[in-house]
Amino acid sequence: MVITTPYESGRDFLSPNRNLSPLSTEVDANKRLMVGGCLLSDLAQRYGTPLYVIDEITIRTACRSYRDALVSHYSGSSLPIYASKANSSIALSRIIASEGLGMDVVSAGELLTALEGGVLGEKIFLHGNNKSEEEISLAYRNRVNIVIDNRYDLERIEKIVPSGADPASIMLRFTPGIECHTHEYIRTGHLDSKFGFDLDQVKSIFKELQGVSWARLTGIHAHIGSQIFELKPHQDLAEVMADVLLMGRNFGHPIEDFNVGGGLGVRYIESDDPPSIQKWVQVVSEAVIVSISKRKLNLPRLICEPGRSLVATSGITLYELGSRKSIPGIRKYLSVDGGMSDNPRPITYQSSYSACLADYPLEVPDEIVTIAGKHCESGDVLLKDVSLPKSKSGDVLVVFCTGAYNSSMSSNYNRIPKPAAIILLSGQADLLQRREQPEDLLRYDVIPERLRELG
CB of 232 to ligand PLP, least distance (A): 17
Binds ligand PLP by CB under 6 A, chosen from 262, 275, 361, 403: 262
Task: Name which of 157 and 264 has its Cβ closer to ligand PLP.
Answer: 264
Binds ligand PLP by CB under 6 A, chosen from 226, 343, 410, 433: 226
Q: Which of residues 89-108 bind ligand PLP (CB under 6 A)?
A: 104
In whole angstroms, what is the distance from residue 339 CA to residue 397 CA? 12
Q: Which stretch, 46-54, 255-263, 373-381, 441-449, contacts ligand PLP (CB under 6 A)? A: 255-263
CB of 111 to ligand PLP, least distance (A): 15
401 is catalytic: no
Q: Which stretch, 80-88, 316-324, 363-371, 383-391, contacts ligand PLP (CB under 6 A)? A: 80-88
Binds ligand PLP by CB under 6 A, chosen from 55, 305, 342, 359: 305
Does position 127 interact with ligand PLP (CB under 6 A)? The reply is yes
Q: Which stretch, 246-254, 259-267, 272-280, 352-360, contacts ligand PLP (CB under 6 A)? A: 259-267
Quote the crossing angle between the two packed helices 151-160 and 133-141, to the nearest 10°. 60
Does position 263 interact with ligand PLP (CB under 6 A)? The reply is yes
CB of 267 to ligand PLP, least distance (A): 14
CB of 223 to ligand PLP, least distance (A): 4
Task: Name which of 236 and 395 has its Cβ closer to ligand PLP.
Answer: 236
Does position 308 interact with ligand PLP (CB under 6 A)? The reply is yes
Binds ligand PLP by CB under 6 A, chosen from 23, 83, 287, 347: 83
Does position 306 interact with ligand PLP (CB under 6 A)? The reply is yes
Sheet holding 33-35, edge to edge: 26-27, 33-35, 38-39
CB 170 within 8 A of CB 148: yes
SS3 assignment for the chain: CCCCCCCCCCCCCCCHHHCCCCCCCEECCCCCEEECCEEHHHHHHHHCCCEEEEEHHHHHHHHHHHHHHHHHHCCCCEEEEEEHHHCCCHHHHHHHHHCCCEEEECCHHHHHHHHHCCCCHHHEEECCCCCCHHHHHHHHHCCCEEEECCHHHHHHHHHHCCCCCCCEEEEEEEECCCCCCCCHHHECCCCCCCCCEEHHHHHHHHHHCCCCCCEEEEEEECCCECCECCCHHHHHHHHHHHHHHHHHHHCCCCCCEEECCCCECCCCCCCCCCCCHHHHHHHHHHHHHHHHHHCCCCCCEEEECCCHHHHHHHEEEEEEEEEEEEECCCEEEEEECCCCCCCCHHHHHCCCCCEEECCCCCCCCCEEEEEECCCCCCCCEEEEEEEECCCCCCCEEEEECCCCCCHHHCCCHHHCCCCEEEEEECCEEEEEECCCCHHHHHCCCCCCHHHHCCC
Binds ligand PLP by CB under 6 A, chosen from 80, 176, 307, 373: 307
Q: Which stretch, 129-137, 256-264, 333-341, 370-378, contacts ligand PLP (CB under 6 A)? A: 256-264
Does position 223 interact with ligand PLP (CB under 6 A)? The reply is yes
Residues touching ligand PLP: how many (CB under 6 A)?
16
Single out the catalytic residue among 304, 356, 376, 401: 376
Does position 257 interact with ligand PLP (CB under 6 A)? The reply is no
> Of 225, 258, 256, 262, nearest to 239 (Cα)?
258
CB of 361 to ligand PLP, least distance (A): 28
Binds ligand PLP by CB under 6 A, chosen from 18, 60, 85, 131: 85
Binds ligand PLP by CB under 6 A, chosen from 53, 54, 70, 86: 86
* C-alpha dist (Å) from residue 394 to 335, 341, 358, 361, 388: 11, 21, 11, 16, 15
Does position 267 interact with ligand PLP (CB under 6 A)? The reply is no
Does position 261 interact with ligand PLP (CB under 6 A)? The reply is yes
CB of 214 to ligand PLP, least distance (A): 24
Q: Which stretch, 33-41, 206-214, 305-313, 329-337, contacts ligand PLP (CB under 6 A)? A: 305-313
Q: CB atoms < 10 A from the CB of 447, how many?
A: 9
CB of 86 to ligand PLP, least distance (A): 5
CB of 210 to ligand PLP, least distance (A): 26
Catalytic residues: 376
Residues that bind ligand PLP (CB under 6 A): 83, 85-86, 104, 127, 223, 226, 261-264, 305-309
